[in-house]
Amino acid sequence: LQKILILLQVTLSVVVGKTLMILFPNAMKRYILKMGEKSRMNRNPKFSYENWGPTFFSFKYLQFVLKVKWKRLEDEAYEGHPAPNTPVVTLSREVCHVLDFMKDNRPLILNFGSCT
């Protein structure tokens, strides 16, 4: 049911966005550029709006957003339920899953940090 609701929401936003791009191309370009500023996409001078702007609200865009949102459904953790088995990348760049590190009935402790 959640996937169907997400499909409807994303499809509606893509249809509305595509329609607005056709009816008001300059306003939508300004809007998309403003979104690009928030994500810092505009900071690379070799990466112009013409490279990525027209891809907004395309079928590929719809597929990508659906894939990401549906994947996030699987990654939600709920108290009292099994932990999600999300993919992780080791320091040797090997892709595995969190629960691959479980050993017998020992608790698995995840420690997150960063080095700057």
Q: Which of 18, 13, 17, 28 is nearest to 66 (CA)?
A: 13
| pLDDT tens digits along 3-59 | 899 999 999 999 999 999 999 999 988 888 888 777 776 677 777 778 777 888 899
Q: Find tokens 């939508």 and name the residue.
A: 28
90, pLDDT greater than 90? no
d(CA 23, CA 65): 23
